[in-house]
Homo-oligomer: A and B are copies of this chain.
C-alpha cells in the first residue's frame, strides 16, 4: 500500500512504502541521501551503511530514476530540522529499494534556467521542473474556477466543433485541411457561431477548447493553437451585463487561486492581481486614446485600435490611478469588429464591445451581438460576406434569438500574465508555432 509523501507525518516511527522519482542523490561517504519526489511532495531519505542491499541499489540511482522504497519514517532530532525544506522535520530511513524504471543521464539539471528554445526542445523533461509544474497547476485551477463559477450561474458547457465547413468568418489566418471525399474543411478560429446557436438552446453556455490561428508571426503573445474560454448568454440588457459577469469571475478566480495555489505563486514569485475596491475601471476606446495623447503627447487619437504599447500604458494607468490590474476598454469602431457585433444606437459607428486588459495585455474580447435576423444579414452584406454561406448559423436567428453576448478569453495568456511570465509559450504545455510542432520543423 503506497503512502503519499504529503501523508508521511501520519506514519512517524512506522514502516511505509513510498513510490516516486529520485530528485537528487547525494553521497556522503558511507551514507547515501536521496530526495524522493511524488505528485504530493518531496522528502529526504537516507540509506544507512547497515542496509547493504539497499545501499547497493542506491549507488546505481541517478536523478529521475523511478523507485519504490520501503522505509521507516523518522522524526529528525531538533538540531537536524530544516524548516526551509518541505518535510524538513522528518526523514525516511530506507529498508529496501526497487527500481521501477531507469533514467538516462539528464541533458541538463532539471531546475536549471535554460533558454526558451532549449526548454521547448526538451519539453517532456523540462515540464517536470517544479516551476513548470506550478505553472500548469495554476492553469488547471483557472479552468476549474471557470467551470465552477459558470456552472453556479446556470451555464451549460458544450463542446464546440473544431472542424468547420467553409472559411465562415472570412479573412486570412485559417488552417485548411483535407476533409473526406476530396473536400476541403477548416479549423475553427473560435466557437463564436456555435455558441450563439447554443444560446437559442440553453440561454447560457460556455465552452473550453482549442482554437486555431494560421498566423505567421512569432511573438511573445501569440500561439497558432490556444485554449479559448468562451461564454455566451441571452436576455442581457447590453454589453455591461457581460462585463459585470466577467468582473465577478475575476474576483472569484482571485479567491480560488488564493485558496488552491498559494504555494505555486510563492515558488514563481508571482502576485495575485490587484483588485479595485469599486468596479473595474472602464473607458471608451476614444477616451483611452485621448488620454494617452494628452499624457504622452503621442499623436494616436484617431487610431481604430490599441497598439501593444497603448495596452501597457493603460494598464499602468489603471494600476496607479485605481489600484487595478484590470481595465475594460469599450466601444471599438464597427469597422474593426466582426459582423455580429452590436452597434451602439446611442453612439453610431461604435459597438457595444469591449476588451479586458490585464497587466498590459488584452486577455478578453467580448460584446453584445446582433440578434435580429434581418440586421444580421445586412451586416454580413456590408462586410462583403454572403448570407447564404451562413444559412446554418442564421437558422438560430430566423427562429427567434434573445439579445445576447459573451466573450472569448485566452487561457494561456491569462496564465502568463497571472504569473508574470515573459512569454505565452511558457504557459503552454506544447506550443504550436511557425517553426515548431513539438520538435523544430525542418526548413
- Interface positions of A (Cβ within 8 A of B): 2, 19, 21, 38-40, 64-66, 100-104, 106, 122-125, 127-128, 132-133, 136-137, 139-140, 143-144, 147, 151, 154, 156-165, 175-181, 183, 185, 187, 194, 197-198, 200-204, 208-210, 212, 214, 216, 224-225, 227, 235, 371-373, 391-393, 395-403, 411, 429-430, 432, 434, 437-439, 441
Task: Kindly identify which residue among B39, B66, B175 contacts A179, using a CB–CB cutoff of 8 Å.
Answer: B175
Q: Are A201 and B64 in touch, CB under 8 angstroms? A: no
* Known contacts A39-B204, A64-B400, A162-B210: A127-B180 contact under CB 8 Å: no
Which chain B positions have C-beta within 8 A of A392?
A: 123-124, 438-439
Q: A163 CA to B210 CA in the complex, in Å?
A: 10
Q: A373 CA to B157 CA in the complex, in Å?
A: 39
Task: Kindly identify which residue among B154, B164, B204, B401 contacts A101, using a CB–CB cutoff of 8 Å.
Answer: B401
Which chain B positions have C-beta within 8 A of A140?
A: 156-158
Q: Are B183 and A177 in touch, CB under 8 angstroms? A: no
Closest residue of chain B to A430 (Cβ to Cβ) is B161
Task: Kindly identify which residue among B151, B393, B398 contacts A144, using a CB–CB cutoff of 8 Å.
Answer: B151
Task: Kindly identify which residue among B65, B102, B203, B227 contacts A39, using a CB–CB cutoff of 8 Å.
Answer: B203
Closest residue of chain B to A211 (Cβ to Cβ) is B162
Which chain B positions have C-beta within 8 A of A136?
A: 156, 158, 201-202
Q: Are B210 and A103 in touch, CB under 8 angstroms? A: no
Task: Kindly identify which residue among B127, B147, B161, B371 contacts A197, using a CB–CB cutoff of 8 Å.
Answer: B127
Which chain B positions have C-beta within 8 A of A39?
A: 154, 202-204
A343, chain B: closest CB distance, angstroms: 16
Q: Are B177 and A177 in touch, CB under 8 angstroms? A: yes
Given contacts A101-B402, A128-B201, A139-B158, 6 further A-B contacts (CB under 8 A): A123-B392, A165-B438, A165-B439, A177-B177, A180-B214, A181-B434
Q: A209 CA to B213 CA in the complex, in Å?
A: 18
